[in-house]
Amino acid sequence: MTTPFKTSEVARLISDRVDALAHRKTQNEIAAEAGFANANFISILKSGKSKLPLDRVPSLAKALEVDPAYLMRIALEQAVGVTAAKAITEIFGTPVTANEKAWLDELRDASGNSDPRITARRRSTLRGIFGK
C-alpha cells in the first residue's frame, strides 16, 4: 500500500500525539475513543496511507487531546487540498482554536475592545514574541 499522505500535518500530528499519550493510553484505546471499528486505522493514518475522514475529526481530536478546530483545519487541507481548503475558509472563516481565541480575547481586553489596526510596529512586536 502506498503512503500518499505520509508527510501531511495530519499524519505527523496523530503520530506525535499517540506517542505523547502512550504512557496513559494505548493506540487501541485511542482508536476506540475515536469510534474506529478497526484499531489499525490509527496506524494507517499515522503512516499516511489514508486521509482522516472529516466526520471523525471531533472524536479523534478528543481522543488525542488536541483542539478540534486545529485538527479540522489540517484535515480539511488533507481532504480537499490546500487550494480548495483556502476557498472554504475564505467563505466560512478559519476554524479558531481555543488557544487562538484566548489570544484574541486578551487582545480585545488589552486594547479596551477598541479594534486596533495592525501597524508595522505592532506586527513587529507581536512577531518578536515568537522570535520571528
Where in the sequence of the chain do the CATH 1.10.260.40 domains occur? 9-92
pLDDT of res. 2? 83
Residue 50: closest CA among 85, 11, 9: 11
CATH of 9-92, one of 3.40.50.1820, 1.10.3720.10, 1.10.10.10, 1.10.260.40: 1.10.260.40
89-122 confidence digits (pLDDT tens): 899 888 888 899 899 999 999 999 999 999 999 9
Per-residue model confidence as pLDDT tens digits over 12-33: 999 999 999 999 999 999 999 9
Alpha helices in 27-119 (DSSP H): 27-34, 40-47, 57-64, 68-80, 82-92, 98-110
Q: Is the pLDDT of residue 63 over 90?
A: yes
pLDDT score recorded for residue 38: 87
pLDDT, the chain, mean = 92
List all residues 6 or more positions away from 25 whose beta carbon is below 8 Å from its beta carbon.
Answer: 33
The answer to which of 69-73, 81-85, 93-97 has the lowest mean pLDDT is 93-97
Residue 1, pLDDT score = 61
Tell me if the pTM is above 0.85. no
pLDDT mean over 76-91: 91
74-82: list long-range contacts, CB under 8 Å, 24+ apart. Answer: 74/8, 74/9, 74/10, 74/13, 75/10, 75/51, 77/8, 77/9, 78/5, 78/8, 78/9, 78/10, 78/51, 78/52, 79/51, 79/52, 79/54
Grid coordinates of 69 = 478546530
